[in-house]
Amino acid sequence: MEHFNWTQLIPGVSHEYIHVATLVCVSIFIILLSVAARITLGNGEKSIEPAGRFSLKGMCELITEFIVDQADAILGKKGRTLVPLYGAVFVFIVINNMVGLLPGMTPATDNFNTTIALGIFSFCLYNFLGLKANGLSYLKHFLGPIWWLAPLMVVIELLSHLFRPLTLGIRLGANMIGDHKVVSTFLEMTGYIPVSVIFYGFGLFVCLIQAYVFVLLSMIYVSMATEHEEH
């Protein structure tokens, strides 16, 4: 049974392309939010003054500090060059996840086409950075530590790496499908009375955690790729 979705009111959007329409809408929203944040942050001394209250600037600072802390802990100081990228990925996933908490909306991260595409992006990124950091020596870790085990290790390592984008995408997609299904089921059971706030809180928590897990694992893969030959 097909459920109503607000994006179907957009001309030309059928049920099969709901996630694409949601993805476009969320992307436009993020762009507008970025412009608003840039205006809010201001220039000069105003841009570096900490936010004194809850605001868009305060949220941007909170997310930036969080990503910086994670990058420092996993990648070291060199990881700060990737903070804008991972900050953007985190915000993109969080907002897409949270769309599912709105009645009549289906998040793009409920569709494996979206989540596996994110996994492939992470896969391409860490391999590119690994090659950039170590050159062709990066490929040596596929051979393993013992030369006579190289044929076996190549197969194992290749399978391990090829499954990473799939596991990243499937983990994110499956968890979001399950989360929104659980939240919607409990909301129907409670009849949208005030107790439903508890389930919205649970849903929001899962949305944030899944975005965090995706970014965390992506950073770990980058760390493994760029530091392998340094030991």
Is residue 230 predicted with pLDDT exceeding 50?
A: no
In whole numbers, what is the pLDDT of the chain averaged over residues? 82
Please state, as a whole number, how many other Cβ atoms lie within 10 Å of the Cβ of residue 211.
Answer: 23
Is residue 101 predicted with pLDDT exceeding 70?
A: yes
Better-predicted residue by pLDDT, 171 or 42: 171
Structure tokens at 205: 């928590």
pLDDT score of 58: 76
Distance CA 182, CA 176 (A): 10
CB 80 within 8 A of CB 72: yes
CB 140 within 8 A of CB 187: no
Distance CA 127, CA 205 (A): 31
pLDDT score of 51: 62
| Residue 1 pLDDT grade (very low, low, confident, very high; cuts 50, 70, 90) | very low
Better-predicted residue by pLDDT, 108 or 118: 118
pLDDT score of 180: 80
Q: Give the model confidence (pLDDT) of 130-144 as tens digits.
A: 998 888 888 787 776
In terms of C-beta density within 10 A (0-12 exposed, 13-18 middle, 19 or more buried), how is residue 107 classed? buried
- Give the pLDDT mean for 148-160: 80
| Residue 120 pLDDT grade (very low, low, confident, very high; cuts 50, 70, 90) | very high
In terms of C-beta density within 10 A (0-12 exposed, 13-18 middle, 19 or more buried), how is residue 49 classed? exposed
Better-predicted residue by pLDDT, 27 or 57: 27
Greatest CA span in the chain, whole angstroms?
66
